[in-house]
Amino acid sequence: MSKSKNEIEPIFRSTFDPVTDGDGFLINQKNLISQEVSGNSLLVLRTSKSSTNNTKAAKDIFNLKLPGALEMTNGDNDSRCFWISPDEFWVLLKPNHKMEIEEKLASLPAGVSISDNSGAYGILEFTGDQTNNLLARWMSYDIEDSLKDGKAVSTTFGQAPVFVYRYKQSLFMMVRHSFSHYVAGLLKDSAKRL
């Protein structure tokens, strides 16, 4: 017998758990800290050709404004919306906020769809003066000069596709689950050489 979706409670598992310490730190050294950000939900918003419908869906469901190319916007409950392509946006939500919006999904305009991609990515937060030096060793994108606060880009880290954005004083990297140990290995090894 199946349960109704209202009775399902999400379980959040760490992408980087085997390679972080007990407090969730991947790297914890002078001038460089990297830790996993866990518990968020990642929804993929695919939009229609109607900019009016798209704007309305983002506002009505997430209370967010859709960002322009290579940008991100912020909304209620620390939610964030990232431009991925002209018809695809990623919405990052806190767990309690995801439950709130599920009731609104029935009112999606024609041509607009949402899918849950929460288990596909892990998120690392980087702080400290050595962040740019560490990431520049393996990243093809110039994060020091080009990745300003509020900007978000897809790039590579070593041979892994990653998604990076800057928010306030931190840099965040979203890593596909299947590449998480590869990326963590590069980061930990490179941090020892700083």
pLDDT tens digits for 46-93? 998 988 889 988 998 889 999 999 999 998 878 999 999 999 999 999
Please report whether residue 172 resides in a domain.
yes
The CA angle 74-91-153, to the nearest 5 degrees, is: 80
Please report whether residue 7 resides in a domain.
no
The average pLDDT across 109-133 equals 91
Both tokens assigned to 7:
């009775």
Please report whether residue 108 resides in a domain.
yes
Domain carrying residue 22: 16-39+120-191
Confidence of residue 1 (pLDDT cuts 50, 70, 90): very low
Report field, pTM of the whole predicted structure over 0.85: yes
| Upper half-sphere CA count for residue 146 (Cβ side, 13 Å) | 12
> Do 48 and 113 fall into the same domain?
yes
Q: How far is CA 136 from CA 95, 115, 156, 175, in A?
A: 32, 33, 11, 16
pLDDT value of position 2: 44
Q: pLDDT digits over 122-152, tens only? A: 999 999 999 999 999 999 899 988 999 999 9
Please report whether residue 111 resides in a domain.
yes
Fill in the amino acid letter for 89: F
| Upper half-sphere CA count for residue 13 (Cβ side, 13 Å) | 5
Task: CATH number of the domain at 48, please.
Answer: 3.30.70.1520
Q: What is the mean pLDDT of the chain?
A: 88
- Name beta bridge partners: 116: 43
Residues of the chain by 3-state class (helix, strand, coil), percent to 5 = 30, 35, 35
> Do 33 and 126 fall into the same domain?
yes
Both tokens assigned to 51:
């900019």
Show which of 118, 142, 164 is a domain's final residue. 118
Show which of 55, 85, 118 is a domain's final residue. 118
Show which of 118, 148, 177 is a domain's final residue. 118
